[in-house]
Amino acid sequence: MFINKKNLRKTDVVLLVAVVAIVVMSLVIIDSATHINTPSEERYWFVQRQGIFALINVAIAVFLMNFDYKMLQGYGNKIYIFNLIMLLAVMFVGQSALGVQRWIQLGPVSIQPSEFSKIIMIIALTNLLKDKIGKLNTFSDLLPIAAYVGLPFLLVLKQPDLGTSLVFMAIFFGMIFACGINLKLLAGIFGAGVAMMPILWHFLKDYQKMRIMVFMDPNVDPLGSGYHIIQSKIAIGSGMLFGKGLFEGTQSQLNFLPENHTDFIFAVVGEELGFVGAAFLLILYLIVLWRGIQIAKQAQDSFGMLMAVGITSMLAFHVLVNVGMTAGIMPVTGIPLPFMSYGVSALTTNIFAITILLNIYMRNQKLQF
């Protein structure tokens, strides 16, 4: 038996149903986005692969629910070192694609360590912060924690993967806020960050600078960096209220919309399911984030609370940036939409993150009853 029936009855059903609904919706949209642009013998390759790994991950998640999340305490430094080794391995044995080096090939499976590093960073940072609640009052208190996050941040940035490195920042700020950091100190950090932006600009690669310029005006490079945003906005706008129908989106089906099954999958939703379908998906995400916040508030210990905050911060940042970039109100960063975008590494990371949330909720119910 994979899981105790008593434990199953204590599952956060609302969170579980919302995530399952997103995953099912993802499989349908991935199939719609890829069925024309792949050879006939590989017609269902993307959706089958995503579906198979979803089922494998769910089976593993159900098994892991038998173990208390508190078992992760004390392993922070060990998994942190493992994370650094993974990210360093990418630099030496990683595979390159589209000008970036982010993947390691393990037999038939290509994994992206930077995706797994996000959940590892949450667990490691939770171990570091669990005894520091209410104690982050000065810059010297915060400096070691910033350095702890900064090392994997720089390794991911080197790949280069600006989007994932920014996720680290979202996790960091979400968790130190939950620790009760001095708000004046936090405001000072944001102020310093804004002041340093002109300096940081010179450290960005040319394509990253162009993405920011295109964000301000896509017509700066309409056939290059601005092409993605322009086509994405056309796709979303053309869907109007009810969309063009599944498998009927012209921007997606005729391959005008790049990366339509990964980074820009939300644009496919907007085109084929319209405002109604896009709003329904966003409501599902809102439910997931709301449940994450509630689980953090109801957690009986600081370890569970901080992990729930870290996971919710990660998911919220992903949704905000991905949906924002497809709508043209955020720069293009290549951040996938959780549970929706095609990608085995991202799907595995997100399902494991939800498993931790469900575990925290379940153990809290045990204490209450």
* Residue ranges covered by each domain of the chain: 5-368
307-359: per-residue pLDDT in tens? 999 999 999 999 999 999 998 888 888 799 999 999 989 999 999 999 999 99
297-316: per-residue pLDDT in tens? 999 899 999 999 999 999 99
Burial of 217 (0-12, 13-18, 19+ CB in 10 A): exposed
57 three-state secondary structure: helix
Mean pLDDT, to the nearest integer, of 15-35?
A: 93
**CB-based contacts of 240, cutoff 8 Å, min separation 6:** 274, 275
**CB hemisphere CA count around 238 (13 angstroms):** 18
159 contacts 297 by C-beta, under 8 angstroms: no
The reported pLDDT for the residue numbered 107 is 67
**CB hemisphere CA count around 243 (13 angstroms):** 24
Relative to beta strand 95-97, strand 109-111 is unpaired
Lowest-confidence range among 146-155, 196-205, 240-249?
A: 196-205
Percentage of the chain surpassing pLDDT 70? 91
The model's pTM is 0.91
DSSP 243: -
**pLDDT band with cut points at 50, 70 and 90 for residue 270:** very high
66-75: per-residue pLDDT in tens? 888 999 998 8
